Each structure stands twice: as C-alpha cells, then as structure tokens.
Structure 1
C-alpha cells in the first residue's frame, strides 16, 4: 500500500483525495486493532508529508484523510491536528454544498459536477470524519450533523423492495439515475454506519429508523451473496464479475454491525464465507486483485460491467479492514 509509484492513480498514497483517504483510514484501523504502533507512526509521517496538499482541495470526496486526525491528535497532542479538523468540520457544516434534501452534495476533485446528487460514497468519505470530530471535541453540533447525514442518505438511497442501496440519488430529477444496486456503494454504507454510530451515540440521540434501515440493508445484502462468498459488481446482475472491494467492505460492515449490537451472530458465518472468497484474490505479495476501478454513477447498469479491474488503495484498504476485524472478532477461527 505504501510503495506504489506516483503515476499509479489507484495505488499512489502520496496524495490528498478519497483513494489515499481510504488507504490511511484502513491503516489506522489495522494499527488500532492490532496494537501496531509502527502503523500509527507511519500515518503521522504521511500527514507531515502531505498536509500541504490538503490546502489545494476542499470537496466532500477529499474529506476522507481527515478521518485519521482525531486519533493522531489524541496520540501526539499536536494542536495542529485539532485546529485543522475543527476548521474542516465547520466548513462542512456551514459551507459544503448540499442537495435540497440537506444531504452533502457529492463534490469531487475531478473536473465534474454532480449537482443536487447524493451518493452512498459520501458517508465513508466525509461523515466518518465528522463523527470522529464530534467524539474528539464533545461538540454535539458535529454529532447531530453526522446523524442527520446518515439518516438522510439511507432514506434517499434505500430500495424499499430489496433493502439494499442504489448508488446515487438525483434530487433535481427525483430519481436514482441508472438505479444500479452497486456493490461498493452498499459496502461504504454497511461499514460506515456502525462506525459513525459508535462515535456519536453518547452525544446525540440516534434515530431508531437508522438501525431499522441498517438491519434491512444487512438482510438484503445476505440475499445477494454468491456461493463463492462474494457479490457481483452490481448486486442483482449475476453475469457481472464478482468484485473484491465491495465484498470485503460488506463483510467488514457485518462484523462492525455485530460489534455494535445491531446484527445478530448469524451474520458471522456469512462474513466468514465472504472472507474465504476474498482471500482467493490476494496475491502472495499482498496485492488484492478483482477490484473495480473508480466508478461514478454510470449512465446505465451495463456500463458498470465495463469498469476495468486493477489493484487500488481502496481495494487494499477494505480488505485490510476486513482482515483486521475478522481477526479481532473471530480470532484463530477465521
């Protein structure tokens, strides 16, 4: 994860955007669960090398790296982490573009506009940070916003028939665009929701609707799990490739949901099955294969099948999170 050349978009961690953001979030999760101080020290040095790049971008999709700041502040006591995180959190509350429903508009660093659109990705890329900032500062304004964003995204994106999520919502048109039940979109939410809730539960009441919708999502995903333990790139398209990053994120989300008490222990067996399927895509050197490339909301469902697969930091990261959680939750039985 840390040695790729600068011209490798998918694996270059020396950047400030969502891809390296998922990378550093996963390294933090591993470092905390494994008690590996070298991982935390790597993140401190990574931030020192790359913090100047953060000043060049201020969009929702580039909030992801800030999610490591609260922990780094607790460990180092360096005031810069707290001051920067607070400044960014206040920007999100007061200036970040929103849809007319109040959801954060999914703004990106690329030269593209997704006006009045809410995407599943946003919860992982931005709201995890906001929830962690809430816990760090004890300020309920961040917690209330994180709770609202979680609820509004579930309301906008959840399919009432299957329980799973559509990739995005277009508020201006009042539809889900291509209406793709994209696996990685569901992974971002099934994993980030319990993480967000764990950070804010002591600061603001959590809507019962969030838990109910989360449980419907988890159950819906169970229905689409393949015999291999994995999920297709688009959940209900059985002829599409089985995709590693989404599968790892879904299984990790189940484990996180069990940990917070939202899911019953029967999900453990399904998560173990997914873990076994994911392990088949890990090369001896640790490279994760079968990861679909960066994917906006595509114009139609067949277009998702055309996205090429190649190693990426978010693929590595979601698998690392799964492995770390699996070892913690399942121990030697994994």
Structure 2
C-alpha cells in the first residue's frame, strides 16, 4: 500500500512539473515573448474605445480648424486597423474601414490632384481594401492612381520636405508599383526619397553620422537642442522607420534602390538601440533626454513596429533586437494603454519635442487617432513574433 501511495505521489509531482512547464510563456533568445492573446486584447481594447467614440466614420474632426475625417491623422489610424485586420480578421474592422472609404468616395483629402503626402495618406487604406477584396472594385483605386499619376507626369521631386511625408507617401508609390507591375512608380518613389535624403535643407534631412533624420530644414544645424545636440524628433524618425519598412515590403529585391532602403532602415534602427530608456520608451528628443524627457508612446510604437517587422522578415538580428522590442511593447501595453482603452503618454501633433507638452497618462492629445494607428501597427507585428 505504501509503495502504491509513494508511486502516486511521485506521479503527481512529475505531472505537476510537466504541467507548469507546458504553460510557460514562449521564449526566444531567453526573452519571454508577449502572449499573442494578450497582444490582441490590448489592441482590441484600445481600438474599441476609439470605435465607440467615433461611430460615424465621416464625422468631421473639430479642433482649431474643422478637418474632414480622411486627413492624415485618421489615415494613419486606418493603416493600423488594416494591419490589425490582417492578423485578426474581424468583420467589424473591415466594415469600419470600408464605411470610411466609401463615405469619402475613395478620394484624397479635399483634392484628387493634391501633391501633399498628408492629403494622400488615406490612399494606403483604399489600396489595401482593393486588394483584400480581390481587386474586383477598380473604383477603390481610381482616385489614388489619378493623384499619383498626376505627380508622375511632372519632373518635380521635392514635395517631401518634411520626414513625416515619407510615411504618408512612399507606401502608396510602392503599393501601386507592386499592384500594376509598372517600374515607374518605384523609380519616382526613389527620386523623391533621394531628394529628401540628400537635398532638402541644403545637404538633405538625413545625417549619416548619427544615422538619424532631421524633421525638416528648420532643424538642420546650426539648430541645437538645449544640451547642444542636434534635434532628432522621436515620432519623426518613427515615421521614417515605418516608411522604410512598408517600402521594403512592396519593393522587389531586384530594384536598384532596394539595398539602399534596406541599409538606411538598418542604420536607423541601430541608432535607436543605445538610446532606449530604462522603462522601455524613447524620449521625444532622441539625443537630449533633458528636453521634455519622459514617456512617449507614438515614436516608441513606430520603432516597435519597424523592429518587429524586421525580425519577422529576417532583415535584422533577432538576438539583438528582440529584447528591445519586448521591453518597449511591455512598456506600451502596461503604461500607455489604460483599462478602458484610452492611450496615455501620446504627444499631440507637431514637429518637435516641445509640441503637445507636457504629456501625461490621462492627457488627451489634440488628435487621438494617429497614436492608435501607431499602436495597432506595432501590435500587428508583435503578434507575429515567434
């Protein structure tokens, strides 16, 4: 009887140990990966808060001015929503994006033939929905293509004079290039990118020494931060990270400029490694932590998106970047996303560290949509981590 009881006790102990092992978090390179279910729950909670607040997809956005709801801030949100839909295809996400696109007649903000990347950003979602539905509805890309083709018909390449424009505009060119198979879209995309990189502001908005980007010519030296460093705005560099990730996604490796995009992407990510904060976020001023130092979600989320994309696609070293991504994502999900889905530590619209300050966990920015878009982009790639 004693032997039977002893065997039973040993069996119970072994079973307990095996059971505890089976529920451990997945690990990669000795880093606990975020739980996939929890990643989706975080994204869903933040997104539901927004959808509940904005049930009418056409409702204008009223602030210092009245904005149509297909302006760039809302376009970035839908960009993130589509990314979430691709990993978690819920009908309500698709319907919400479709309603927004239809109510704007699949057109650019205010003017079909605008050259302003901010006004064209909504076209990214139109193109995605066109593909999601099997390219059966050509009206969805009619105005996007007309807008970009009107730019293609000129020799002008200096439109992207601020680095935010790279994220708003570049993915449209590369998506059209991939969809149509026409090389001209890739060529024009590079010409405009190269002008921003090498020419705007005198010698370009990219600093190869620091591997970071000035937001626009206003911040090219001799402009200095309070500590004497160059001004590199977190979200601005986040836009470049996202632009390059999305450009690499659609640009064929055979393209003559693919390797340059890839190198710029890798260099920018490498510059972010030593300046991540201990709490996982990045400061609004990348080289001056004393200039409005503190947590900031949007730039951090874009960096998470870009790094996780690189890991998932084998573009960057997983061992180096995975701990950085996990640390940043954990900071966002724990410190930024509130129980009701509200996002704290979101810097308002602007172009530099001082804009929208001071930040707080409960402060509502002037526009709340683009911050959520950044979060959803990050979540979509963190979810894919293996």
Q: Does the pair score TM above 0.5?
A: yes
Aligned residue-pair number: 307
Partner residue of 1:51? Answer: 105
How do 1:3-18 residues align onto structure 2 when only pairs under 5 Å count? 3-4=53-54, 6-7=60-61, 9=63, 15-18=69-72
Partner residue of 1:115? Answer: none
Q: Distance in 2 between matches of 1:198 and 1:273?
A: 25
Q: 1:164 to 1:316 in 2, by over 3 A?
A: same
What is the CA distance between 1:212 and its match in structure 2? 2.1
Q: 1:122 to 1:55 in 2, by over 3 A?
A: closer
1:181-226 alpha-carbon deviations (Å, 9 max, x no partner) = 0000111111220211221216733343332222211111111100
What is the CA distance between 1:27 and its match in structure 2? 0.7
1:141-161 alpha-carbon deviations (Å, 9 max, x no partner) = 111222333444344222233
Q: Does 1:326 align with 2:382?
A: yes
The correspondence for 2:186, drawn from 114, 138, 143, is: 143
Q: 1:215 to 1:83 in 2, by over 3 A?
A: same
What is the CA distance between 1:50 and its match in structure 2? 2.2
The correspondence for 2:257, drawn from 178, 182, 206, is: 206
Contact kept? 2:174, 2:251, Cα under 8 Å = yes
Q: Distance in 2 between matches of 1:305 and 1:20?
A: 18
Computing the radius of gyration from Cα coordinates, the structure with the larger value is 2
Q: 1:153 to 1:257 in 2, by over 3 A?
A: farther
Unmatched 5+ residue regions in structure 1?
Answer: 106-117
Partner residue of 2:19? Answer: none
Q: Distance in 2 between matches of 1:246 and 1:18?
A: 16
How do 1:1-334 residues align onto structure 2 when only pairs under 5 Å count? 1-2=50-51, 3-4=53-54, 6-7=60-61, 9=63, 15-51=69-105, 54=108, 56-57=110-111, 58=114, 59-76=116-133, 77-94=136-153, 102-105=157-160, 118-155=161-198, 156-169=204-217, 179-201=230-252, 204-239=255-290, 240-265=293-318, 266-279=320-333, 280-296=335-351, 303-304=354-355, 306=357, 310-311=364-365, 312-330=368-386
Contact kept? 1:254, 1:271, Cα under 8 Å = yes
Q: Distance in 2 between matches of 1:174 and 1:183?
A: 15
Q: 1:232 to 1:61 in 2, by over 3 A?
A: same
What is the CA distance between 1:131 and its match in structure 2? 1.2
